[in-house]
Amino acid sequence: MHTLHAGNNVVKDCCDIHTPAATTPCLHFQFCILHYDDHVATTLTIADVERIAALAQLELTEEEKHLFTKQLADILHYAEQVQAIDTSGVPPTDHVNSDQRTEREDEPRPSLSTEEAIANAPDGAPDAGLFRVPRVIGG
């Protein structure tokens, strides 16, 4: 059912979300992907990417920042189609078995020894039973 697009404007029906009158950026779904590149993607700047990378504790290279700015904008733009769906009064599903009761007595059970738990640490201190890390504050 999808056919023609011109820039941001849907010239003809592209999918069941859009009508010829639509002037918003096309939020068409999966099989319209051939026309996807015709559209202006969600605005995302290098500064946005740097902010997200800092939240995610990722130190990206300049090349990665540029690549992700484009790719994440493309993906987010594609994902914006969900925003057109009427979900008023619809509860979220964060988990399909969430009505299952899982409470139990909080009692000690066998678990890993300290030695086993530290064995894979890149800088373990087995004698002290600790993980060693670089300085946290000061310098």
Residues that bind other proteins (CB under 8 A): 1-2, 29-31, 33, 36, 48-49, 52-61, 64, 67-68, 71-72, 74-76, 78-79, 81-83, 85, 87, 90-97, 100, 102, 104, 112, 116-117, 119-123, 131, 133-136, 139
Query: How far apart are alpha carbons 25 and 37 in whole angstroms?
Result: 12
Closest CB 67 distance from other proteins, rounded Å: 8
SS3 5: strand
Q: What is the spatial distance between Cα 30 and Cα 33, in angstroms, rounded to a whole number?
A: 6
Closest approach, Cβ 57 to other proteins, in A, equals: 5
In the complex, least distance from residue 122 CB atom to other proteins, rounded to whole angstroms: 4
Residues in Cβ contact with 112 at an 8 Å cutoff, skipping those fewer than 6 apart:
none
Nearer to other proteins, 22 or 60 (CB): 60
List all residues 6 or more positions away from 46 whose beta carbon is below 8 Å from its beta carbon: 65, 66, 69
Nearest residue (CB) to other proteins, 6 versus 84 = 84
